[in-house]
Amino acid sequence: MDLELMLKVYPFFLQAAWVTILLSVLTALLGLICGTLGAAARLSRFAVLRFLGAAYVSVFRGTPALIQLFILYFGGPQVGIQLDAFQAGVIGLGINAGAYMTETIRGAIIAIDKGQREAARTLGLSRWQATYKVILPQAARLMVRPLGVNLNMLIKATALVAAISVVELTYTAQRYIGSTYKPFEMFLLAGLLYMIIIYVTGRGVAWLDRRVQIT
Amino acid sequence: MTEQTDFVEIRHAQKSFGTLEVLKDINLTVRRGQIVGIIGSSGSGKSTLLRAINDLDPLTGGEIWLDGVQVNKKLPHRQYEKHINAMRQQVGMVFQHFNLFPHMTARENVTMAPMLLKKISREEADALAREQLDKVGMLNRIDYYPSQLSGGQKQRVAIARALAMKPKLMLFDEATSALDPELVEEVNMVMKQLAEEHMTMIIVTHEMDFAASVCDRVLFMDKGVVVEEGPPEVLFRNPAKERTREFLRKHLEGAK
Ligand SMILES: Nc1ncnc2c1ncn2[C@@H]1O[C@H](COP(=O)(O)OP(=O)(O)O)[C@@H](O)[C@H]1O
Ligand SMILES: [Mg+2]
């Protein structure tokens, strides 16, 4: 193992890791937005919205994320969608993550005992008031862990955007392999940095989970 | 309305879940200040009837009137929601499993709805929480979460929560059935106290002694119909119908 080489290229990997982090943060935010809308649609009183929500989930969970990225980035221009690789990465991965988060958020909401909504409604709260005062605060606590799992998956999925040449960790590793012919060292370095990012995120999620629990 | 005395009126109530007919032509009148008990074996439709009054399980036929206003009137969706929310504010409901909000303290459980719906100030809410929790003997637990309370304490907070909306009518659906026997009395005491204050109440219960001691009238339901009704001393001591006698025999045996 060529430690000296690893130490030499390490600063460039660190820079690439920041791109991975930025990509992850933006993807997570977009995913949360899509997931919230998706869950609201899945739980709507309107059948059309429920259908659209279900279709969103099955399409985006039912096809490889890589194909979704390729369609958006390579196929997009054909139908008038011009995005640079980074934008396509965030949007593609974000919409994909949103499909998983839809199910996470919906799952947490339907896990709340139906007596909770009933108690709120008998006091005179409207459907929406019962949702935001009683259901969502409890569901939010249930969501933290499974959303943490979604986040973990999403960070790893950012490696896919190397295939549309976003200069993040995985792409950087591949580029340095081209010039150094040391795939073991380069991928190891990338893997280590992914591990650190995921470890720190996981600790953050565990901390948040502890914070929000009811005494 | 002129008939101020007929406070709750249920006319030809009918309810089906799919093909299962759970309520069959139920008629019931409750006068202001009256306390009506409903007894009957499990599955006879007691909860469904109580829940219909609050529109949690809307009827499939018949009418429910509360203080001169029809609860289940036909209205377009948005208007109906407004109407039903206003109706529900006047009716307190207490559930077998308490259904306290676990993320709120006793105080917050009590004040959430009045603050949200009646726009009372924080000071007023605070006074209200103290008043209502004191009434059920829970003032010393005002900042406890439900998970820190016993079953009987939870149910008393749930009653305080319902009372905080100043309801005209209280519905109790087996309020003590989920409690350990030694905790039943503290909840019954609170209900007796409400009875003394002439709160109008409909009480579904399995406790015949309790029903006999607080109710002005008791209904015996079986398979979706009211088999027999009358003052407790008549219904319990001298029932007219064989089905009532059989139920009471089984039930009193079970209690021994
Ligand atoms: N939401 C529902 N869907 C289908 N059946 C129901 C529902 N709620 C109650 N039932 C049925 O209605 C009947 C009466 O139930 P319920 O009113 O809870 O009886 P009780 O309170 O007297 O025990 C039972 O057979 C029960 O299974
Ligand atoms: Mg019942």
Per-residue pLDDT, B3 = 47
Q: Do B165 and A123 touch (CB under 8 A)?
A: yes
Strand, coil or helix: B69: strand
Distance in angstroms (rounded) separating the CA atoms of residues B164 and B110: 6
Tens of pLDDT, residue by residue over B190-233, are 999 999 999 999 999 999 999 999 999 999 999 999 999 999 99
Mean pLDDT of A161-173: 94
Count the residues in chain A. Answer: 215
Asked if pLDDT for residue B48 goes beyond 90, the answer is yes
Question: At residue B256, does pLDDT exceed 50?
Answer: no
Alpha helix stretches (DSSP H) within B43-200: 46-53, 77-89, 106-117, 122-135, 151-163, 181-196
Q: Are A214 and A208 in contact (CB under 8 A)?
A: no
**Structural domains in chain A?**
3-212 (1.10.3720.10)
Q: Which of A122, A133, A141 sits opposite B88 (nearest CB)?
A: A122
Tell me what pLDDT residue B4 has. Answer: 53
As a whole number of angstroms, the distance between CA A31 and CA A25 comes to: 10
CA distance B99 to A138: 13
User: What is the C-alpha to C-alpha distance for residues B149 and A140, in angstroms, rounded to an integer?
Assistant: 23
Asked whether the beta carbons of residue B54 and residue A125 sit closer than 8 angstroms, the reply is no
| Beta bridge mates, A104 | none
- CA angle at B140 for the pair B158 and A116, rounded to the nearest 5°: 20
For residues A146 and B123, the answer to whether their CB atoms sit within 8 Å is no
**pLDDT (0 to 100) of residue B2:** 45
Range A104-107, long-range pairs (CB < 8 A, 24+ positions): A104/A35, A104/A143, A104/A146, A104/A147, A104/A149, A104/A150, A105/A35, A105/A36, A105/A38, A105/A39, A105/A139, A105/A143, A105/A147, A106/A38, A106/A39, A106/A42, A106/A43, A107/A146
- Centre of ligand 1 to C-alpha B48, Å, is 6
Q: Would you call A215 an interface residue with chain B, using a CB distance cutoff of 8 Å?
A: yes
Q: Please indicate whether residue B40, judged by its CB atom, sits closer than 6 Å to ligand 1.
A: yes
Q: What is the pLDDT of residue A214?
A: 73
Cβ contacts from A onto B, under 8 A? 64
Q: What percent of chain A has pLDDT over 70?
A: 100
Q: For residue B250, what pLDDT is reported?
A: 84
Query: Which residue in A has a C-alpha nearest to residue B79's C-alpha?
Result: A126
Cα–Cα dist B155/B176, whole Å: 8
Per the structure block, which two tokens stand in for B66?
Answer: 């509360």
| Ligand 1 binding pocket includes B42 (Cβ within 6 Å) | yes
Interface test with B, best of A44, A46, A113, A122 (most B CBs within 10 A): A122
Alpha carbon distance A158, A27 (integer Å): 9
Rounded to whole angstroms, the Cα distance separating B156 from B149 reads 10
> Among partner residues A122, A127, A215, which is closest to B54 by beta-carbon distance?
A122
Q: How confident is the model at residue A116 (pLDDT cuts 50, 70, 90)?
A: very high
Spatial CB neighbours of A5, under 8 Å, sequence gap ≥ 6 = A180, A182, A185
Closest ligand by atom to B49 CA: 1
- Interface confidence, given as ipTM, is 0.91
| Antiparallel, parallel or unpaired: β B169-173 and B91-94 | parallel
Under 8 Å between Cβ of B21 and B61 = no
Return d(Cα B70, Cα B64) in angstroms, integer. 6
Please give the torsion angle defined by the CA atoms of residues A30, A113, A135 and A138, in that order, rounded to the nearest 10 degrees.
-70
Per-residue model confidence as pLDDT tens digits over B56-108:
999 999 999 999 999 998 999 999 999 999 999 999 999 999 999 999 999 99
